[in-house]
Amino acid sequence: STLISYITTLKISYACTLLRHTDSSPLEISNKLAYDSLSHFNRVFKKITGTSPIAYRKQVADTPIG
């Protein structure tokens, strides 16, 4: 399942980019990345990043650049 985990990591990495640079909701992002449900996306996101999509967006929004 290394290919699956590689693809999952890429998808979550892209989700992080979308959370940082767009106003798309976690639901819109999970749909765009072909997750079956928002709860599944949230679970996978948290497993990889250690935080929820909402908390991630807030965290990066609060982080000063530089």
List pLDDT tens digits, range 36-55.
999 999 999 999 999 999 99
Give the relative orientation of helices 2-21 and 38-49 as an angle to the nearest 10 degrees.
100
Q: Cβ distance 30 to 37 under 8 Å?
A: yes
pLDDT value at position 64? 75
What lies within 8 Å, CB to CB, of 56 at 6+ separation is 16, 19, 45, 49
How confident is the model over 5-14, as pLDDT tens digits? 999 999 999 9
User: What separation in angstroms does the CA of 64 have from each of 12, 24, 59, 60?
Assistant: 22, 21, 10, 8
- pTM greater than 0.95: no
Q: Is the pLDDT of residue 66 over 80?
A: no
Tokens found for residue 2: 């290394």
The DSSP letter of residue 65 is: P
State the pLDDT at residue 1.
Answer: 74
